[in-house]
Structures are given as C-alpha cells and as structure tokens.
Amino acid sequence: MTTPVKGYAAHSPTGRLGLFAFDRRSPRADDVVIEILYCGVCHSDLHNVRNDWGNAQYPMVPGHEIIGRVIDVGPEVTRFKAGDRVGVGCLVDSCRHCGACGKGWEQYCENGATYTYNGTDPVDGTRTQGGYSEKVVVAEHFVLKVPDALDLAGAAPLLCAGITLYSPLRHWGVQPGSRVAIVGLGGLGHMGLKLAKAMGAEVTLFSRSPGKEADARRLGADRIVISTAPAQMAGVAGQFDLIVDTVPYAHDVNPYVPTLATGGTMVMVGYLGPLEGFNSGPLVFSRRALAGSLIGGIAETQEMLDFCGQHGITSDIEVVRIQDINEAYERLLNADVKYRFVIDMASLKDEVRA
C-alpha cells in the first residue's frame, strides 16, 4: 500500500524540474513518516539532475537536506513520535551488518548504502525519491533529531553540507589550537569555517577572490589567503595540520600541499575525478597525505547536530519557493548564493491547491 504525494522532479538531464505526483510507501514497522518542512539545495542535486555522474534515473525528485515533523511512526519505532522535529540526510538505508556499518560508517557501507534519492530501496526494489516533496518515509535508524535551539530552515543544510565538513574535521582530530584551512567559500566552505572555529581551531580560508574577506571573517576565519598569489601561499608554507578542499570542480591542488605541516592531511570533499599533474614529491618530503571524505555516518551526524545545537550553528541560507527551483539552479551554477538555498516546502501547498 502506498500514499500519493506531490513533489518536483527532473525528467531528463537537460530538462527543468516540474511538478510530479508519485507514491510513498506505507510505513513499515520501523519507519518514520515525516512531513517535509524545508529541504536544502545541494550542489550534488545539480550533478545528479544533469547526470554528471552517469547514473541518473528519471523521473528524479532531488533533495537530501530534509527537515520535517514526524506525522506517523511504525509499531517498532521507539525513538520518535508524532510532532518531533527531525532531519534526514543523504542516506536512508545501508546493509547494517558489514564492517563499515558496524563501525557507524554507513556512508561507506561495503554493500552499498541507499541514497535518499536516485537510489534503490533494498527491501522492495523501488526507486528512492528525495526531499523536494510533501513527505518522506524513512527507517528510524536513519532519522536524526533536530535540537530545539536550531532554526529549522537554517538546519536543513547541516544534513549534507554540515556533516560533510564535520566528519573530516573530527576524524582528523581537530581540537583547540589545530591549524585548519578551508579551500573555497561556498555551501560547504562556509560550514567549514563555522565548525572549525567552534572546535577551537585557528582557521584560514583559501580563496581565489579578495572580495570575500569580510564575510569569511564573520563566518569564523582568522585569516584569508589568496590562493592565486604566490607570495601569500609561500607565507603559509608548512602551516596547516588539516586542509579541507570543498571546491566542486577540477582544479590544481598542488599549490596547497606545501602549506601542510609535516604529517598534515589535505582532504577532498567536493571534487571527484582526475587531479591532473598531482605531484607526489611534497607528500614524500613531509609525510603528508591527500585523502577523501564522504558525508558522515548516522551517529556522527546526530553528534554534529547536537554540536551545532550547543554552539548555535546553522547554515547561512536564502529561502526559496519550490516554484523558483529552476532559477535557483541557474544561480547555483553561477555561485550566486550566500551560502545555501533552502526550499520552504510550504510553497508546494499552492501547487496542490491549484
């Protein structure tokens, strides 16, 4: 049995998003039914809709930064009840028994985690559809509690942008006094500045644009280094314990590596693909590493939300109506947002009435 819901979907790689009616499953015993209030717009929504990664299936309802309110629960659900403020991120299931899942690393599930949209439900084989919609039905294990202190709209991007930065900062041991640099000031980067600062780090922003200084400082940066200025780059040689590179397109990472301290790590979280001419020399001469990191596990995501609740951290957002999503995508392509679009899903009610 299923329930009909409305959302916005892409129907082809070149097409625009438009109103789409589809079915959500009836809750299983461990499911939580969530009325979606807000959904963040992630850069990867754009990649997925445009089939940049070659695995798109249409129609596709994007959205994996979901904030909502519980409206129903299955009989085995113990941690949630109707009325609770909850979140759903990039994952709605995983095998739950492999080594990675056992460690709480559901994002690295050895049998393949189930993504919130453009994925396949492991129980019934249906396609998963995301948060640009009225409601969603998700297994309790993958539902997060949203602290009361957090603004609901501003909390939405924490579910992907927030955890994508929080996980490497924690995994590589950032603590008071750590020297952390963030490459790029966008949806991911601005969360990196806020989170690293709240962890007590000395925070540097690498940016190509001199105009971002005031904003970067407001968000938590102690210093801005213009990455295209060789003298500025030389001035921070050997400085950083950790660099998190949030740039989502192909770029030369070689200039950043020598700014790592001995034993330092540069973590890629934005770009997937070939790093042309990447040089092993600066790794060898100071035992540095280039690593990657993907979102975070479920327990770690809850820890991140609680941390944000304690420190009053949400994303800087621009709220849009679902009817304006295609224009928002155009602006996202031009990096014209500070720093994350969040869809007010109440706007979808206008469509339902129409």
Residues lying near a copy of itself in the complex (CB under 8 A) are found at: 99-100, 105, 108, 110, 171, 238, 262-263, 265, 268-269, 271-294
* CB neighbourhood size of 191 (10 A): 33
Q: Which is nearer to a copy of itself, 125 or 274 (CB)?
A: 274
d(CA 234, CA 202): 18
Residue among 12, 140, 138, 166 at smallest CA distance from 66: 138
Angle at 303 between CA 28 and CA 260, to 5 degrees: 130
Q: Which is nearer to a copy of itself, 101 or 348 (CB)?
A: 101
Q: Which is nearer to a copy of itself, 174 or 221 (CB)?
A: 174
- Amino acid occupying residue 30: D
Q: Which is nearer to a copy of itself, 76 or 252 (CB)?
A: 252
To a copy of itself, the closest distance from the beta carbon of 304 in angstroms equals 16
d(CA 33, CA 15): 30
To a copy of itself, the closest distance from the beta carbon of 55 in angstroms equals 13
Residue 223 contacts residue 205 (beta carbons within 8 Å): yes
To a copy of itself, the closest distance from the beta carbon of 33 in angstroms equals 31
Q: Which is nearer to a copy of itself, 152 or 275 (CB)?
A: 275
To a copy of itself, the closest distance from the beta carbon of 295 in angstroms equals 10
* CB neighbourhood size of 33 (10 A): 22
170, containing H or E segment: helix 161-171
Q: Which is nearer to a copy of itself, 19 or 98 (CB)?
A: 98
To a copy of itself, the closest distance from the beta carbon of 151 in angstroms equals 30
To a copy of itself, the closest distance from the beta carbon of 233 in angstroms equals 17
DSSP bridge partners of 205: 182, 224
Cβ contacts of 103 within 8 Å, gap of 6 or more? 297
Q: Is the peptide bond before 58 cis (omega within 30 degrees of 0)?
A: no
